[in-house]
Amino acid sequence: MANMVLPENVEGSQNGAGVGGAVQAGGAAPVANILQSGRGAAVSQAASSAGSSAGLRGLHAHPEPLDGCADAPSSQQPPALCALVTGATGGIGRELCAQLARECGTLALVGRDRGKLEELAKDLVERFDVDTHVFVADFAQPGAVDALASQVQAANLQVETLVNNAGFGYDAPFAESSLERQRALVQTNDMALMELCHAFAPGMAARGHGGILNVASVAGFVPGPYMSTYYASKAFVQSFSSALHMELRPHGVHVTALCPGPVRTPFWDNADAGGTALARMTISAPRVARAAIRALGCNRLLCCPGVLAKFIVFGSRFVPRAWAAVAASALQKPKR
């Protein structure tokens, strides 16, 4: 049976030296909305003062070294402003990278598969003429976030936009499932996301600008039999993001939870679910990415692109949770 919600990509090039690797390109991409180019040179004070204008422009003012922050630079050179995207190599993550490449000059791409990351970096350089830095990390492993934060600092990057997209789903009855895989799911979907926010949000708040986009799901609004831990993990992301939104708003930091419904990715065909009714209600990953970046620029708390996602989120307020669990069970229950 087709899954109610798609798992995000957990996957995830430098031809030179440096921590994590990087692909460099000359010339900055045009600036629009929220992001400004961060090629290591400070953006003018005039642009900084204009940061309160609409869109994402205000999130990227100018690089400011801060002692004790995870993204403080390790050299005397001004840090390069960047957007850091986890789970960057496929599906929603890849499209978010393309949208951000239109807005800023430097991207930090994070995933598990170096080959796919380098392929993506090359594509972004060719299409958008941006600088890209590649970092390999497996967030199912404790300590991965600390290692990544150190690598970002060593690369002299200042994270102004953090996109927490890495995550995965596990479709199995809980009592019959692998505890090891359930732990890895919670570690990746929740613990790593929280740690990444803790690594970079303090610097954003101290500087008075920045943005955090956490990829949740409509799954976070209903119980999910047969994908119980995945649904619960997305409920955490949605609730955590809502609280963070309120805490950081007075400091000029935008926080948005992206809560899509079914998104059309190769997952559907791989699961032999391309012809199902649910698959026909999917929306495209580029549409989701565009909506997410707009919502972050406006500092919207929730972004629920597509009619189906809006219906689920709105309907969850009125439908008893027991009924919602029954409906989700019917969609999620594996074939025997």
**Residue positions annotated with a catalytic role:** 230, 234
The SS3 of residue 85 is strand
Residues 200, 192: Cα–Cα separation, whole Å: 12
Residues 126, 7: Cα–Cα separation, whole Å: 29
Kindly report the number of other CB atoms within 10 A of residue 16's CB atom.
Answer: 8
Residues 93, 9: Cα–Cα separation, whole Å: 7
Tell how strand 80-86 and strand 106-111 pair up. Answer: parallel
Residues 275, 270: Cα–Cα separation, whole Å: 12
Q: What share of the chain is helix, strand, coil (3-state, %, to 5)?
A: 45, 15, 40
Element (H, E) at 162: strand 157-164
